[in-house]
Amino acid sequence: MKVLVTGGCGYIGSHTIVDLINNGFDVVSVDSNIRSSTQLLEGVEKITGRKIRNYKVDLCNLEDTHAVFHENRDIVGVIHFAALKTVPESVADPLFYFHNNIESLVNILKCVKEFNIPNLVFSSSCSVYGNATELPVVESTPLLEAQSPYARTKQMGEQIIRDYSRVNSTQSILLRYFNPVGAHSSALIGELPLGRPDNLVPFITQTAIGKLPKLTVFGHDYDTRDGSCIRDYIHVMDIANAHTKALQYLLDKKNKENCEVFNLGTGNGVTVLEAIKAFEKISGVKLNYELGPRRPGDVIAIYANNTKAKELLGWEANTGIEDMMRTAWQWEVALRDRVLSN
């Protein structure tokens, strides 16, 4: 069974392709490489021993997107990862985000409709909850004001799919990821931020390896157990496996509604300082960090209730924070070794 993965050259897309192939699916990818190269797909090929076709197509171009669907009429589903995802960039250039993330989704849906593709899985985000006041968040927790144009594209994306699902037969799942981190255990694929990372874990590993001089902990006077923010970090391979399970759930016709939503988090809140401690423990590296001011726009704490995904998808997030950090570190070290050996 063939699956079309958009954004297959990116971080979560590439790890998901590995899990899909391990579970017997064939995959074709569409990625314009606006935020990636073919490097991760080459890593996927080494891990799986399979050649993966990527169509270098901008999904905002309907004609090119249509041509991909035309050539792959036999797909059983689409997993739509492709999007821009940098919060501060979206604040600085909202139209770029609305154009890219919404236009691409609408084009995907036009093709899904025309080619009668039965199943769709969409990458959403815990950022749709905004500054949630009740924790942990459940899927039915009301969505509050989006804190960035990026988050708004995810709220809008979910709404567009819901409205579409009301009048079309496509079965959809919206997956709300919390904070995906870590890398495949082979260290052949991992997170590959272009330029200076915004996210905590690549910032930690790049500081530890010497690419960046120092990490600043954004805020140490929050009302949390150690004063730093709490997040639900989740291993990228656990996220990846949830996509395979979500697709299988749709293929097995286990869904009760045309459009269903699932949180993908571990359910455990971890503070920034705890994440740093876990990193130092597994790496043996003393991290150069300082306690600094709060970052504007940060929520104090957010973590998931993941009962729905466990019960309905039969999914488990098995990897703990130390293994998340270990695989992220192994990937950073592998990247350095590759540069040194060239």
Cα radius of gyration (the chain): 19
Nearest to ligand WQD of 152, 170 (CB atom): 152
Partner whose footprint covers residue 36, from ligand NAD, ligand WQD, none (CB < 5 to 8 Å by kind):
ligand NAD
Residue 155: which of ligand NAD, ligand WQD, none does it interact with, CB under 5 to 8 A by kind? Answer: none
Residue given tokens 């990897």 in the structure block: 319
> What single-letter amino acid sits at 325?
M
- Which of the residues 119 through 178 are near ligand NAD (CB under 6 A)? 123, 125, 177
Question: 255 touches which of ligand NAD, ligand WQD, none (CB within 5 to 8 A by kind)?
Answer: none
Tally of CB atoms within 10 A around 284: 8
Residue positions counted in the chain: 342
100 binds ligand NAD (CB under 6 A): yes
Q: Which does 102 bind (CB under 5 to 8 A by kind): ligand NAD, ligand WQD, none?
A: none
DSSP H or E segment with residue 127: none
- Which residues are CB-neighbours of 95 under 8 A, at least 6 positions away? none
- C-beta of 292: minimal distance to ligand NAD in Å? 21
Number of helical (H) and strand (E) elements in the chain, helices listed first: 12, 13
Q: Which parts of this chain interact with ligand WQD (CB under 6 A)?
A: 85, 87, 125, 127, 151, 179, 198-200, 203, 215-218, 229, 231, 272, 295, 298
Under 8 Å between Cβ of 85 and 140: no
Interacting residues with ligand NAD between 25 and 84 (CB under 6 A) = 31-36, 58-60, 81-84
Q: How many CA atoms lie within 13 A of 180 on its CB side?
A: 28
* Of 98 and 291, CB closest to ligand NAD: 98
* Residue among 32, 25, 24 nearest 9 (CA): 32
For ligand NAD, which residue of 3, 4, 5, 7 counts as binding (CB under 6 A)? 7
How far is it, in rounded angstroms, from Cα 76 to Cα 121?
A: 11
Q: Are 123 and 80 in contact (CB under 8 A)?
A: yes
Residue 229 or 247 having the CB closest to ligand WQD = 229
Active site residues: 150
**Residue 47 interaction partner, one of ligand WQD, ligand NAD, none, beta carbon < 5-8 Å per kind:** none
* Closest chain position to ligand NAD (CB): 10
Distance of CA 327 to the CA centre of its chain: 16
End-to-end CA distance of the chain: 39
List the one residue from 3, 4, 5, 13 that touches ligand NAD (CB under 6 A): 13
Q: Is 11 one of the binding residues for ligand NAD (CB under 6 A)?
A: yes
Residues that bind ligand NAD (rule: CB under 6 A) add up to a total of: 27
C-alpha distances (whole Å) from 218 to each of 6, 200, 272, 287 are 33, 10, 9, 15
Interface ranges with ligand NAD (CB under 6 A): 7, 9-13, 31-36, 58-60, 81-85, 100, 104, 123, 125, 177, 179-180
